[in-house]
Amino acid sequence: MMFMCLCVYLCVCVSMCVCVIQVLQAGLRSSFQALGRFVASHPVFFASAPVLVSVLLGASFSRYRVEGNVESLLVPKHSLAKIEGNLVDSLFPVNRSKHTLYSDLQTPSRYGRVIVTSRRGSILDPLHTDLVLKLHRAVVQLQVPVLGFNYSFSHLCLLDDKNTCIIDDIIRALEDSQSARFANRSSLPLRYPITRLADGRMAYIGHQLGGVQAWGAGPAVQGPGGVSGRGQGVRSARALQLTYYLQARGALTDRVASQWEQAFCGELGQFGAGHPELSLYPFTSSSLRTDFQASSVLARRPLLASVCVCLVLAVGCCSMRDCVRAKPWLGLLALLSIALSGLTAAGILNLTGTTYNSTYLGVPFILLGHGLFGTFEMLSSWRRTREDQHVKERVASVFSDVMLRYSGATLLHQVSLGLAASPLTNLEAVRLFCRCAALGVTVGYLYTLSFYATCLVATGYLETGYRHGCFCRRVPKKGALDTKPRWYRCLMYTRYQDETHSQTHSHTPNSTHTHTPNAAHAYTHTANPAHTHAHTHTPNTTHTHDHTPNTTHTHTHTPNTTHIHAHTHVPNTHTPTTISELRPQDSHLLLGCVQRCYGDWITNTYVKPFMVLLYLVYISFGLMGFLQVSQGSEPSSLVAMDTGTLLYARAQQRYFSSYSPVIGFYVYESAPYWNTSVQRDLLEYAKGFQRISWLESYLDYLTERNLSTTSQSRDSFTRMLRLSFLRQPQFAHFADDIIFAERDEGEEPEMAASRVFLVAKTTENKREEMSVLLDTLRRLSLTSRVRFLIFNPSFVYLDRYATAVSSPLRHSLMAVLFLLGLSSLAVVEPLVAVWLSLTLLSVQFGVLGFMTLWGVELDCVSVLCLISALGHSADCCGPLLATFSSGRGDSRTVWVRLALERHGVPSLQTLICYTAALLPLAAVRSNLTRSLFRCLVLTAFCSALHALAFLPTLLTFLPPAKKTGSRQGDRGEGEGLREEVECVEMVDSTRVVDQITTV
């Protein structure tokens, strides 16, 4: 009994939800219908206002600014690595390193860097060594004139404690080797990766010497004071890397340093041209920013080509053989509407101080895809309206039919992009892109409602005036047209006049009809009271007023007569009427292909198994790619090709990938270094790394002097360190690695912090190994008795990058699914929400898998495309699902064909124009645009595959079921019973020229 009550309760709830959905849908359609009438009543305002606003906001491009800090765009905004970096800079600033500066550990704001490789032989050959030193002297002597003063490297460089410029240790080693060769004496052997210099200091040259071939493991290298290290004797090397560090403390020095970097690249170019035996790969602090923005410069001409190609195809998709019904100008005006919306959004962003970056290249394509779907849907709905209606009523009918779906798709765009643009997004490039795209979609939606709707009004009046769709010239009558040349008759070909005459029932001017739906109809014509006329309606013939499908109205009218009509209507059988049955003259080329060929083929019983098999193949390949997804955290993967940044990155990977970047091991609080257990722990942590450690050198120093390393007190340990060890010339550089804190008078200072440099041996997958190493050492720092942290500037690109990149996509997808579930309770039918949710998940899964198989990594650009794919797939598949689910009375196959006829053609038109617009983007030699092109093409392909193949097949044998009902409106999308209207028709000798209609 309780189960039966529960079932009854659920049935009542479902019925109430269905009623609420129907009421809300009817209210929204009525609201959009009223909005359509209002827009059509004020076409001048709604056509001119968007243009005026766009022109005014376009003037704001005087405030156009390019983003200067690329690192802030491409790294997670909130990460532990940034906090660690700030702590490191506060403890050990760059200027505090007076003896040596590890370029991979601490990078100043301005620097110039070059990789020098030999085309033949070793870079350490005497000839090449002399050229490298000659290049070094040319760089040092380089001068930059600013404000009447010539600045050289000596004016800008970082200084050591002797007030000399800090240079790389490999330069000192090469100078020692050259001096020994000129003096005809032997020099110290060069070892790798740690070597000993002439002053007895141990230096790490693993990142300054690349492509090394060693003689084999050598013995321990003993330096003065017992400093030891192990290295391999260098037999040959293919590359050298030199770095020149600059100071940029103020606006003037930053300006001078920037010009010095430009002169540095120019000098290297001239030197390389004069010495072809060397290959030079320069890189500066501004190279990444310049080459990242170079994608926008390279994409200018391809974007213009995209606009031209899309324009031609949009005009072609709107054209027909019938010159009156053709709408070629609507294709041009659709692109103009999208361009105006993009200009308006860009003006708003400029006024709000937003800076431009190259990732914004994807925004126009998002606006293009969404805008074309809306405009082509409106044009398709316009062609389904009755041509004997007034233009205002036709626009109102289009708004009622299309705008509910288009508004829902726009809302999905807003939710997906808006959530990704919120502060929840940790990647600044994704957040700024989604904010710009969301604004553009909003403005585009408003411009479609206003500007493009008034374009429909204008073309409607041209059609009513029986004018050519392209040249706007009035088409001559048939008799006059027969006397024209053949080319003129071909140009002015139309069947519009004859078919319009057959639809008007030969009505006389100024006749008045009063219709009562679903009952006997009494028509009173008051043109002339001298005549009486009777009309009889017979079922199962054709009637152009769409009272009910499959009813026949036979009218015989005599001019200037009074008519009394008796109508008998057959109840609605809920049979879907195809577009060709309603408008055989409107058969578009694509519509004819979909209706006569593709619709029958895709719903064929023998084709369905192959479509299901194709979907399984699609899922299999998507899963294959999904399991191979990799992160793309390297900034060089987003720059233009054939640029200095990319060439430098390739040389760096080829010659300097044997060792990881220098990792700073920082003990950031006071620790009992004299304690044996602490010493053992610190030595254990550094075990397995190539290292230069003050603690290890100090303990060896104590051992050589027969001093205990375990039984010393804090004061004696610290005193010996300060007054003896650090005063030795070969150990003096370790003073940069220890911070002493003053204590009470008479007491030894306390060691507040210290650092050790570690380098790990790596393989080709340096990025993955560094990520694993970072996580391992961080976990170790949580359990260690000594509080330490590790840092390298590259860690900001690795630290939780996968989470930062993928979280906007997850949040957007969850928000869209939540919105669909919420709307299914009030506005959208539950099955539509379920099908659309599954479709979005399937499209996302396919795009993610196929882009991995195509060589695209998961970075900020690919995530941007995946977020936009949510709205694109909803645009493509939503209307088809809505039309199919709302239909009643016939089989699934019939309704699938009808849904394809209504919405498959706009989807196909959008796919053609959108894909053609993307093709020129593939010609841009940029990694960013290549990733953008591949992801957007895959988005369009997967969305079209679902809308035109998978869904039409699956819907023929999966829910929702089609049940015969008697509700008005069950035929879906407003194609059911329509109220008959009272209309006043004004007919001339050729066609209906005006008609004023009221409900």
Q: DSSP string spanning 682-741?
A: HHHHHTTSEEE-HHHHHHHHHHHTT--SSS--HHHHHHHIIIIITTSGGGGGGGGGEEEE
Q: Which helix (H) or strand (E) holds 860?
A: helix 860-886
The answer to whether 60 touches 771, Cβ cutoff 8 Å, is: no
- Quick one: pLDDT at residue 69? 83
- Quick one: pLDDT at residue 18? 65
Please state, in angstroms and rounded to a whole number, the distance separating the CA atoms of residues 252 and 245: 17
The answer to whether 343 touches 57, Cβ cutoff 8 Å, is: yes
Find the Cα–Cα–Cα–Cα dihedral 267, 268, 273, 277, rounded to 10°: 140
Please state, in angstroms and rounded to a whole number, the distance separating the CA atoms of residues 656 and 651: 8
- List, for the chain, all residue ranges whose pLDDT scores fall below the cut of 70: 1-18, 94-108, 216-231, 479, 495-588, 764-765, 800, 826, 962-999
Q: Is the four-CA dihedral 529, 531, 534, 535 of positive or negative sign?
A: negative
The answer to whether 411 touches 438, Cβ cutoff 8 Å, is: no
Strand partners, 244: 112
Question: Per the structure block, which two tokens stand in for 927?
Answer: 């990694």
With both helix axes pointing from N to C terminus, report the angle between 251-274 and 126-140 in degrees, rounded to the nearest 10: 150
Give the DSSP letter of residue 960.
S
- Quick one: pLDDT at residue 98? 52
The candidate with the shortest Cα–Cα distance to 362, out of 923, 941, 853, 918, is 918
β 690-692/562-566 pair status: unpaired
The answer to whether 427 touches 76, Cβ cutoff 8 Å, is: yes
Q: Which helix (H) or strand (E) holds 476?
A: none
Q: Where are the domains of the chain?
A: 108-213+233-284, 663-791
Q: For the whole model, what pTM was predicted? A: 0.81
Q: What angle do CA 470, 475, 477 make, to 5 degrees?
A: 165
* Burial class of residue 116 in the structure, from the number of CB atoms within 10 Å of its CB (0-12 exposed, 13-18 middle, 19+ buried): buried
DSSP assignments along 963-989, one per residue: -----TTTTSTT-S-----EEEEEE-S
Q: What angle do CA 862, 864, 868 make, to 5 degrees?
A: 115
Amino acid at the residue 149 = F
Q: Is the four-CA dihedral 638, 643, 649, 651 of positive or negative sign?
A: positive
290: CB partners within 8 A, 6+ apart: 643
- Quick one: pLDDT at residue 438? 95
- Quick one: pLDDT at residue 989? 37
The answer to whether 847 touches 931, Cβ cutoff 8 Å, is: no
- Looking at 201-299, list the stretches that DSSP marks H as alpha helix, in order from N- to C-terminal side: 251-274, 287-298
